[in-house]
Amino acid sequence: MSEAEQVPASAPDAAVLDALNGTDSNGTEALNATAKFVATPEGTALAYGSLVLMALLPIFFGALRSVSCSKSKNAADMPETITSRDAARFPIIASCTLFGLYLFFKVFSQEYINLLLSVYFFVLGVLALSHTMSPLMSRIFPASCPNKQYQLLFTQGSGESKEEIVNYEFDTKNLVCLVISSVVGVWYLLKKHWIANNLFGLAFALNGVELLHLNNVSTGCILLGGLFVYDVFWVFGTNVMVTVAKSFEAPIKLVFPQDLLEKGLEASNFAMLGLGDIVIPGIFIALLLRFDVSLKKNSRTYFYSSFLAYIFGLGLTIFVMHTFKHAQPALLYLVPACVGFPVIVALFKGELTEMFRYEEASPEEAGSKDESSESEKKDQ
């Protein structure tokens, strides 16, 4: 469950992330149930309120950034488009990954697996946090400081057969972001502090919402419907999620201590929210924002309705979990809310057919269309 994709900027990586995140939330409830610590009402309210706020930030800003990302011609900022075929396979990949981790932790040493995962997520986290900070750094970077341009180029072969393997352009601002992100990464590796974990988690979530794009609403319904079944099955049907959650250490969840008021920054009894319960609904909400933009009506009706639906669904998850003292699959509540609210709004506005007909071209198709339009202009 969740109490609660760079995220990796590819569909398979996002699938892996989603498979893992469900585990954390599941584990959260299991761990909290067995702990001797009893949270105060104030501590519980602060923890869950902070988790809700942290979940909303990457969805809101990631959706806004996804609009400009879809128009970008920079190869480094190109989104990864999820097709209906990808969406149908997503829950299967997530389930295989989750069960594979379960077997790994049963067979191999938990210490060595977590060490490898820590190094892997350190690299991903530094890159994700650096990318997240870039727009902010562009605004606050002193104009008096020289902003030099750099290029990292790797080629293979020579002469006419030379091929580019890596061609990455960056500047001084990007280097500053990378240094700051690396410091956070070292802090996380050495201390596993919850604030460092959350910085990486927020960066993963924001990058996932920004860079993972659904091509149409139907694909979004397939993806959310499949993960709805996935989340319910692995939470209520087996103990796999709980087992993996107890063993897995990685910044794939947001955490907030329920004993912060008593112990300060050294608090250790956490409420948790898996990143998949942020990213998966988030990419659907971002799609609806881009649909709003395509209507050119200067309104964000579908975006705001789905955003409010997410708040309602997450609040309902926390309420049920707190009332029944049992892990809940968050997508059980988030999927009907995030899909149902916009559909009802579209029915009232008479735009349901238009909403389901809206489709985004993949970066390759968009590029070919731009080239053809430019060639037509030259011919004219």
Catalytic machinery residues:
231, 277
Give dist(CA 234, CA 324) in Å, integer: 18
Torsion of CA 193, 136, 284, 351, to 10 degrees: 150
SS3 77: helix
Residue type for position 68: S
- State residue 253 phi and psi, 5-degree precision: -150, 160
Widest CA span in the chain? 77
Closest Cα to residue 230, out of 6, 5, 7, 26?
26
Give dist(CA 139, CA 150) in Å, integer: 20
- The token duo for 229 is 């079944």
Residue type for position 107: V
Residue type for position 289: L
Instruction: Looking at the chain, list the stretches that DSSP marks H as alpha helix, in order from N- to C-terminal side.
Output: 11-34, 41-71, 84-107, 110-140, 172-191, 194-211, 217-232, 240-247, 260-263, 276-295, 301-324, 331-349, 352-357, 363-379
Residues 6+ apart with CB under 8 A from 287: 213, 214, 216, 217, 220, 360
Closest Cα to residue 268, out of 255, 283, 257?
257
Residues 6+ apart with CB under 8 A from 301: 292, 345, 349
- State residue 162 phi and psi, 5-degree precision: -65, 130
How many CA atoms within 13 Å lie on the side-chain side of 370?
A: 10
Bridge partners (DSSP) of residue 163 are 156
- Give the chain's radius of gyration (CA, Å): 22
